[in-house]
Structure 1
Amino acid sequence: MFASSRSALASARQCRQMSHASNKLSGQVAVITGSTDGIGLAIAKRKGQEGARVVVSSRRSHNVERAVQEMHDLGLKDVLGVQCNVGKPEDRHNLIDQVVAKWGTVDILLTNAGVNPATGWLLDCSESVWDKLFDINVKSNWALTKLVAPHMQKKKKGSIIYIGSIASFGSIVPYGALSGYIVSKSCLLSMSKMVAQQLAPDNVRANCILPGIIKTRFGEVLHADDEVFSGVLPTIPMHRAGEPEEVAGLAVFLASDDASYITGENYGVAGGMQSRL
């Protein structure tokens, strides 16, 4: 089974290499949190390749500098790097202030920053861990949305994209290590719908992407250990983990005019894993 998974993954990589950027996001300003590694960095690179002016951010400045250099090495020059711990109000304000000062507005907000500070079943979660989960995974999304919404409403156009988790639908085999994380990420299902309803009259859209088992450092708890992954694999009809780049394509689509009549929706990128409650 693992051999067939590797073959399918090789085919998927070949298909991605054959794709060509089409400047779907030409001139747009895209702010992406948690974008120095994994899914966030893949999305940042793809948005830049589609013509967007990209803002890369995370809580460690050296990671921001490295990610910006990676983008420059790809020939992407319209890149701004900003250190931002999304759990700190002053950092959130500084992030948006720097973007507006440099480029005048925000057209796209994609919130990828997230944490899972401790493992264990839900009722074994400490109050401090619970508070951090909701501060980073929920509150920061709400707070950043409040900061960028006025800029989008002024232009009568904008796209807000939250990165949730397919685990919100109970798609991963019973695995207590992710309990608190799953509950916090589930909030983004409703947030996308509530924000979409409020901002729709101003032509500002809000949607949520729900990655499954993606091969990132953050997701190593599920894919790096063969014994653990062998327990998860039967729940994935495509019989493999995904790559960060396979999430980036949907992120570009939802930010583009191709998705101009799509708002308040939740989209799984999970190889066929269960995507309904």
Structure 2
Amino acid sequence: MAGPQASLPCAWRMVGLALGGCWFSAASLHLPWLSAAGVLSSRVSALISPMYFPQYASSTGCWTTQESTGQLKLGSIGFAIAQHLAQDGAHVIISNRKQHNVDHAVTALREEGLHMPEHCGGVDFLVCVAGVNPLTGSTLRSNEQIWDKILDVNGKAPALLLSQFLPNMESRQGSVVLVSSIAAYTPIPCLGVYNVSKTALLGLTKTRAVELAPKNICVNCLVPGIINTDFSHLTVEDQAFMESMKKIYGLQRVGQPEDCVGLVSFLCSPDASYITGESIAVAGWSPHL
């Protein structure tokens, strides 16, 4: 497996995690459930971006974002988040199980003149964007393997990852941003089990917000709408579905990855330190209307 963009003298070493969320040593973090990684989609990849904002944190501060999509690509939500935070002065470290994905992303950011450091310190925030959907169809067509695969990646892995990160965050009053989907509120028929898995993240957000409040760690959830990425191309290309969204909800356009980055940056900043347990849609319409 490919390593991070550079050596990281952190409290962990990076290897592939089951959710495609990040790369940590199963030995150093004691993750026995990583043994199931072999049954998960080989398309799952990861983006980890520890970042440091001098105006907000100590010299050892490290702010972390994470992306799990089919592939780490320049048009993904995760890359857009890393790019935006780096532009804001964050120090971003990217890791992926495919070294060429890491090299491609790091090169693209450095060509913009953004600093990509070789080391990181502690963890001040964590953003989990886990998403895999190996089956297009209803829950009625899904066997146990499909249920296990999707729920392991999209639901269980972010929960267990946060549990492992906690010792590195609890003394820093950090922030956690989970990333669900508008399908949690308005299920898309062809994304049966995926809908369920993303709904579970809404509950995880509320539960972890209560559990971590005594540690001054905020937990919130970004709920992207229909965003123009490779992952959502089937939905975007479904003209009947898009027309119904426009007619019923007044949706005027398909979202872009860049539409999500401002909210994530805000939720990870001290400006959002009094906000927790919230799930916020970035969708061009509100599922609460």
Amino acid at match of 1:224: E
Q: Which residue number corresponds to residue 109 of structure 1?
A: 126
Secondary structure of the residue aligned to 2:176 is strand
TM-score scaled to structure 2, two decimals? 0.73
Q: Does 1:56 align with 2:69?
A: no
Amino acid at match of 1:165: S
Q: Does 1:194 align with 2:207?
A: yes
> C-alpha displacement at 1:231, in angstroms?
3.7
Secondary structure of the residue aligned to 2:209 is helix
Secondary structure of the residue aligned to 1:162 is strand
Q: Distance in 2 between matches of 1:59 and 1:229?
A: 34
Q: Does 1:33 align with 2:72?
A: no
Q: Distance in 2 between matches of 1:103 and 1:253?
A: 21
> C-alpha displacement at 1:28, in angstroms?
3.9
1:43-192 counterparts in 2 under 5 A? 43-79=81-117, 102-155=119-172, 157-170=173-186, 175-192=188-205
Q: Distance in 2 between matches of 1:120 and 1:137?
A: 17
> C-alpha displacement at 1:169, in angstroms?
1.0
Higher relative contact order (CA 8 A, sep 6+): 1
Q: Does 1:256 align with 2:269?
A: yes
> C-alpha displacement at 1:23, in angstroms?
8.0
> C-alpha displacement at 1:236, in angstroms?
3.9
Number of aligned residues: 230
> C-alpha displacement at 1:232, in angstroms?
3.5
Q: Which residue number corresponds to residue 42 of structure 1?
A: 80
Q: Percent identity?
A: 38
Secondary structure of the residue aligned to 2:213 is helix
Q: Which residue number corresponds to residue 42 of structure 2?
A: none
Distance 1:55 1:237, change over 3 A: farther
Amino acid at match of 1:112: V
> C-alpha displacement at 1:54, in angstroms?
1.9
Q: Does 1:268 align with 2:285?
A: no
Secondary structure of the residue aligned to 2:190 is helix
Query: Does structure 2 retain, via aligned residues, the 8 Å contact 1:24–1:50?
Result: no
Q: Does 1:240 align with 2:253?
A: yes
Distance 1:253 1:230, change over 3 A: same
Distance 1:79 1:267, change over 3 A: farther
Q: Which residue number corresponds to residue 223 of structure 1?
A: 236
Q: Which residue number corresponds to residue 9 of structure 2?
A: none
Q: Distance in 2 between matches of 1:275 and 1:116?
A: 25
> C-alpha displacement at 1:46, in angstroms?
0.8
Distance 1:25 1:64, change over 3 A: farther
TM-score scaled to structure 1, two decimals? 0.76
Q: Distance in 2 between matches of 1:212 and 1:59?
A: 27
Secondary structure of the residue aligned to 2:246 is helix
In structure 1, stretches of 5+ residues that fail to align are 1-21, 81-101
Q: Distance in 1 between matches of 2:56 and 2:288?
A: 28
Q: Distance in 2 between matches of 1:103 and 1:57?
A: 13
Secondary structure of the residue aligned to 2:80 is helix
